Amino acid sequence: MATNTSITLLSTNSSAVNFRAWASFIRDTFALGWTDTAAAGEINLTTVLAPAAGSTSMGFKVYRMADTLQATVPVFCKIEFGSAATAGQPGIWLTLGTTHDGAGTIGGTILLARQDLRGGDNGATVQTANYGSADTNRITSSIFLTSAGANLFFSIERTKDSTGADTNTGLIVALNSQAGSHRHYYIPFTGTIPAVQNGYHIVLTQTTPSTLNGNVGISAVVPMGYDAKQPGINMMVCLVNDFANFALVPITVYGVSHNYQHVGSQVASMRNQGAAAVGDTNTRLLIRYE
């Protein structure tokens, strides 16, 4: 297990230096636990230019999980780096599947069709807080956190049993970006993949702060395969006044204490129901950070 932190990234593609910096941060987070497939034709993050137009991918990397389950239920993740609606806006695309042809094509069972996440262009004026954490079987990355409307967040982990151990059933995936609401997926390896869930299924009081008799209200995110499944451990949700922005919080999950990073005030409305809904602005995100 390992973590990746930066407080200097700029949420912009205004230069090749800025584009390479934020893309390299995500690359380096994957490298904390996943295996780089060294795919033919992959992006070179030391020489690539910044995007010259909106909605443009400048290249890709492909990673695979490196845990023992990879031999029987493999997971490959293709990530593309580029621009969102305008050339200056950072953007990424994620595709998940069970095979990779060695040249950037994800195949087998497509676990998650190509999904775009869009950041905001802060004009190269605001250095941002950025956090990433990964192991052989999971990754979580939340960047551009101190620039309004700029954040990009994704989380990928294997499904869990009642003890919190990984299972061979599927994946739990969460996504959020400047352009849309929080999206949550329960993705089985076999059978029908349920529809995306808008917002996160959580159980929290509507009273903030939630501290009462020495206890603080924190909720796991419950994946929905049309019925509730065992929660993952990559992310938790708290209320706005329970912890300081960017606090490191120890939380016991499935009987084991883990460290979680509060990602600040720009990531909110975890209980929203779609891109057009305001949702519950009092909720805040905590990502596993160890």
- pTM confidence score: 0.95
Number of residues in the chain: 290
Is 31 a residue whose pLDDT tops 60? yes
More confident residue, 209 or 164: 164
Q: What are phi and psi of 16, to 5 degrees?
A: -60, -35
All structural domains of the chain with their residue ranges? 2-288
Provide the 8-state DSSP code for 213: T
Q: How far apart are CA 250 and CA 86, in angstroms?
A: 39
pLDDT per residue over 274-286, tens digit each? 555 556 788 899 9
d(C-alpha 95, C-alpha 79), whole Å: 7
Residue range 196-208, pLDDT digits in tens: 998 899 998 888 8
Beta strands in 101-179 (DSSP E): 106-118, 127-135, 138-143, 152-160, 166-177
Q: Which stretches of 221-265 are DSSP H helices?
A: none
pLDDT of res. 278: 54
